[in-house]
Structure 1
Amino acid sequence: MFKFIDSLSLKKIITLSVIISSLLSIPLLVIYALNPIETTNSSASSVAGEPKIFKHTDPVGTTKISGIKPFWGKAGDEVVVWGENFGEYPINSYIAIGNAKITEYSKWEDNQIVFTVPQNSTSGKISLSIGNYQLTWDKAFNVFNTNTQFALVFNNKKITLVNYPENISKVYIWQTLYSEPEVFEVDKGQTVYEIPKTINSIEWVSVEDENKVGIPFTVNPLEFTD
């Protein structure tokens, strides 16, 4: 063995080493190419202390938001977005409420995303960005907090405005996510409004001020359960 090595020139030994290293690296490259990129994120672990592995896959086809539920939330609440072709934790992708980017997701699958409302966010439209593609839900999402005094009460086909702000302008309600909204022009001296008899259920509500900026409000979640 040693005589064989002695008989080889230094140049031949280096060449042989390069060839062997290249052959050994080929199986690793094949394994890497056949598997999606994976990252770990301990903050989204389903088991305490155990990192969760995310597989990143890009969406295939046109991305579509079909619905969001509920239409309200405060910091720490979870919101579900469902639709088509979201991918699975695609890289450089996020949801935002207005200008506030969401950083915490408990689920991001091809047809459903579950995110947590962040601190210091305000009411606004929800947008979905996947790479360079952006899609915006056309209704304002209501963000409130423990200091929100303004409330909407739905009872007996009526809406009651409690502690409404002076700059309130309109209340919008949607029977379905794709129907035309019923618009209530707020009269500052009136607090109770009749809901048309043709509206049997309500899936979305938003309130805006005179500048068309969303006004936070609270509702009783039991009034909107299926």
Structure 2
Amino acid sequence: MTILKVDIKQGGYEAGKSLIHNIAFSISSGSILGMIGSNGAGKSTTIKGMLGLLPFMEGETDIAEGLTYSYIPERQIYYDELTLWEHIDFVGSVEKIPNNIYKKRGEELLKKYRLFDHAHQFPSTFSKGMQQKGMIVLALLTEPQLLIIDEPFIGLDPNATKLMLRSLEEERRRGAGILMCTHVLDTAQRICDEFVVIDQGTMLASGPLEKVLKECGAEGGSLYDCIPDEEREGSE
């Protein structure tokens, strides 16, 4: 079942200065879509556009009625005055999750990501990897139908990365749709069902791996071959 359709004609931070254009894709429940591209290609801007966070955008995002989603941005965001557990309390309250349910989920997720002993500490004192794991805990707390993650593996050590991959697979089996924006292309190629390749604010290719490789002129290659070479671009 399709839970999200995105059709962005153009968008940016002010009218007349479009940073992204002609980007269209969809996400189905129980599938993982990998959004790839070089730094500055427009991936994060595309996510902001589909979430209605861009000041200027032409196009539309069609979200399934009643869809719940969680978004993990590239840069971790916490309230300075709240401990990690107070963030969990806050999310539970805002999302109107019954106390016994969100507290149980929160404890389970904290233990799973080895943050239980740090629950009553301020995230500002955490390492970057711990902060990322905390964001994952908060995102999964609501059991969203759509999970949007911008650079999910940033700051994670190998053990935490494996744990994150297991969580993504569990969410997929639960029926959630996942949009994963990442530079870790070998991992993306292994776990994603479909891909969107973005370069200079424009979609170069979309679809399953074989289709994307063909559209990028990289048949028989890998996702790395779909990323335009910066030196070649600079010489043109």
TM-score by length of 1: 0.25
- Higher normalized helix content (fraction of residues): 2
Higher relative contact order (CA 8 A, sep 6+): 2
TM-score by length of 2: 0.24
- Higher normalized strand content (fraction of residues): 1
